[in-house]
Amino acid sequence: MSNIDPYSTLGVGKDSSDAEIKRAWRKLARQYHPDRNPNDATATAKFQKISEAYRGLEDPMKKQQYDMGGSNPFVQ
């Protein structure tokens, strides 16, 4: 995730609980899912971006690394 704040991507604050983060991701995933937006490259790109942000924040180690100011913890 190149220099993108996963919290702002999901529309939550850094003090959000895991449940709030998951709820925000689900809401956005339903909105931008490629099956709901066929032939919409913008929606597909947005879906990929929010999914990547969520994958980083759902992993406690990656989330902690990002919160501590680590550089790009979402890239493997």
* Tens of pLDDT, residues 27-55: 999 999 999 999 999 999 999 999 999 99
* Predicted local distance difference test score (pLDDT) of residue 2: 55
Assess contact for 10 and 54: CB atoms under 8 A: yes
Assess contact for 30 and 36: CB atoms under 8 A: yes
* Predicted local distance difference test score (pLDDT) of residue 3: 67
E strands, the chain, in order: none
Query: What mean pLDDT value characterizes the chain?
Result: 88
What is the pTM for the complete model shown?
0.82
* Predicted local distance difference test score (pLDDT) of residue 1: 43
What is the average per-residue pLDDT within 5-16? 93
Angstrom distance (rounded) from CA 42 to CA 34: 10
